[in-house]
Amino acid sequence: MDLPELTFPITVDFIEDSYWIGAVGPFKYGEAATAFLAGEGFTASADDDALTEELAAFLKDFGGSLKPYAHVKSGSDIPKAGPADCLVGYGFLTLDVGPVPAERYIFSSLRDFLYVELGKAILKGNAPRQCRLCGNWFLHESGDRAMYCERTAPGEDGRTCREAGARTVFEKKIQEEEAWKLYKRAYKKYYARFMKGNLSRDDFKAWTEQAAADRDAAIERMSSTSDAEERAKITEQLQKQLNKL
Ligand SMILES: [Zn+2]
């Protein structure tokens, strides 16, 4: 849902997992901060850069507690943020089901609204996150494992980042499995030689150590490139390395 044009002061009703701006909603917690960071749905003003910086810093300090990115350390470096200026009261929000009790905030600036909206989102386990493919912000909801947004991916005929990203992960997984397959096949071969007495125990042991290292190094190199040709080359090299004894 697109955010309405905001003319301050605004009244925002927060209910359990969504909120309403005036009579417009529902919005998900974190939706407004995400839209702001992504540069969508808000008119640009001179203060935008400062606010972007503030929200990004807030997200970095507090969003780090979101699983699986927990990195807040105990001790003196626990961050603090705030405060926001707003009025808080309680009221009834009229929905289709009838009047629903709501926490009603009155915000007189965009900064105060986004600050509280982002804070509430983080406490809910929602947060803006940057897409691993296009780099733009999207709302990551609690329990969601998405790393990619649902915009059209750059250079991908109409495919979304999420679709393109899932395919990349899938292809990488196939490549990793290929490396393991080569390793297992070679292992079987050298194990058979060792059992027949054609390969000493020490040589076999040395081979397994070297082979495991070569396999892991190949997987590592594969995961750092998205070029299919490069990865095919790595697979080919690995096959030679594993079978040179
Ligand atoms: Zn994206």
> Hey, where are the domains in the chain?
10-140, 161-242
Q: How far is the CA of 151 from the centre of ligand 1 (A)?
A: 5
Q: How far is the CA of 87 from the centre of ligand 1 (A)?
A: 36
Query: Looking at residue 190, what is its pLDDT?
Result: 93
Q: How far is the CA of 96 from the centre of ligand 1 (A)?
A: 35
Q: How far is the CA of 100 from the centre of ligand 1 (A)?
A: 36
Q: Is the pLDDT of residue 76 over 80?
A: no
Q: How far is the CA of 138 from the centre of ligand 1 (A)?
A: 8
Q: How far is the CA of 221 from the centre of ligand 1 (A)?
A: 24
Query: Looking at residue 31, what is its pLDDT?
Result: 95
Give me the sign of the Cα torsion angle 118, 122, 124, 128.
Answer: positive
Q: Is the pLDDT of residue 68 over 70?
A: no
Query: Looking at residue 72, what is its pLDDT?
Result: 57
Query: Looking at residue 74, what is its pLDDT?
Result: 63
Query: Looking at residue 100, what is its pLDDT?
Result: 94
Q: Is the pLDDT of residue 182 over 90?
A: yes
2-25: pLDDT as tens digits = 788 889 999 999 999 899 999 899
Q: How far is the CA of 39 from the centre of ligand 1 (A)?
A: 14
Pair 182, 239: CB distance under 8 Å: yes
Instruction: Give the number of other Cβ atoms within 10 Å of residue 94's Cβ.
Output: 13
Banded pLDDT at 168 (limits 50, 70, 90): confident
Query: Looking at residue 201, what is its pLDDT?
Result: 92
Average pLDDT over residues 59-70: 69
Q: How far is the CA of 161 from the centre of ligand 1 (A)?
A: 5
Average pLDDT over residues 169-192: 87
| Residue-averaged pLDDT of the chain | 87
98-152: pLDDT as tens digits = 999 999 999 999 999 999 999 999 999 999 998 888 889 999 998 888 888 999 9
Q: How far is the CA of 223 from the centre of ligand 1 (A)?
A: 19
> CA 13, CA 23: separation in Å to the nearest integer?
9
Query: Looking at residue 33, what is its pLDDT?
Result: 95
Q: How far is the CA of 226 from the centre of ligand 1 (A)?
A: 16
Banded pLDDT at 90 (limits 50, 70, 90): very high
Query: Looking at residue 40, what is its pLDDT?
Result: 84
Q: How far is the CA of 172 from the centre of ligand 1 (A)?
A: 19
Query: Looking at residue 86, what is its pLDDT?
Result: 94
Please calculate the CA angle 166-168-172 and round it to the nearest 5 degrees: 115
Query: Looking at residue 71, what is its pLDDT?
Result: 57
Question: Higher confidence at residue 110 or residue 156?
Answer: 110
Pair 131, 151: CB distance under 8 Å: yes
Banded pLDDT at 67 (limits 50, 70, 90): low
Average pLDDT over residues 208-233: 86
Q: How far is the CA of 101 from the centre of ligand 1 (A)?
A: 37
Q: How far is the CA of 150 from the centre of ligand 1 (A)?
A: 6
Banded pLDDT at 73 (limits 50, 70, 90): low
Burial 41-58 (b: 16+ CB within 10 A, else e): bbeeeeeeeebeebbbeb
pTM, entire model: 0.68
